[in-house]
Chains A and B, each alone.
Chain A
Amino acid sequence: MPAAEQQLTTQNLVRLTSRPKSANDTLRFVFVGDCQRFYDEAEDFVASVNKQRNIDFVIIAGDISDFGLVREMRWVHHRLRKLNVPYLTVIGNHDQVGNGRAVYQSVFGPLNYSFVYGGTKFICLDTNGREHGFQGQVPNLGWLGQQLADTANSRRSIVLCHVPPTDEDFDPALALAYARTIRGSSQLVFHLAGHIHRFTNGQPFHDGVPYLTAYNFRKRRYTVLSVWGRRQFNLETVAYAPAL
Chain B
Amino acid sequence: MHRFLLTLSGLLLFLQSQAQVAEPNNRPWYVPEHVVLQTAGGIGMVAGGVGYALGVHRRFDTDVLVGYVPGRYTGDRAFGIFTLKDTYSPFTLPVASRWQIRPLSVGALINYTPSQMLNRSRDDKYSYKNYYWWGSTVRLGAFVGGRVGYAFDTPAGRKRVASLYYELGTNDLYFVSLLTNTKGLALGKILTLGLGIKLDF
Contact = CB atoms under 8 A, between A and B. Distances in A.
A and B form one complex: yes
Interface of A: 37-43, 66-69, 71-72, 75, 79, 96-103, 105-106, 130-131, 133
Contacts of A68: 119, 136
B189 A43 contact: no
Contacts of B176: 37
B189 to A, nearest CB: 7
A237 to B, nearest CB: 23
Given A67-B134, A97-B121, 17 more contacts: A37-B176, A40-B181, A40-B184, A40-B185, A42-B184, A43-B183, A43-B184, A67-B173, A68-B136, A71-B190, A75-B189, A98-B119, A98-B137, A99-B115, A99-B117, A102-B74, A131-B125
A241 B182 CA distance: 16
A103 B75 contact: yes
Contacts of B181: 37-40
Size class of B's contact patch? 20 to 34
Interface of B: 74-76, 79, 115, 117-119, 121, 125-126, 132, 134, 136-137, 173-174, 176-177, 180-185, 189-190
Contacts of B115: 99
B184 A39 contact: yes
Nearest to B172: A67
Contacts of A100: 119
Given A69-B173, A72-B177, A98 B136 contact: yes
A102 B75 contact: yes
B66 to A, nearest CB: 18
B119 A131 contact: yes
28 contacts: A37-B176, A37-B180, A38-B184, A39-B183, A40-B181, A40-B182, A40-B183, A42-B184, A66-B177, A67-B136, A67-B173, A68-B119, A71-B174, A75-B177, A75-B185, A97-B119, A97-B121, A98-B118, A98-B137, A99-B74, A100-B119, A101-B119, A102-B74, A102-B76, A102-B117, A130-B125, A131-B119, A133-B125
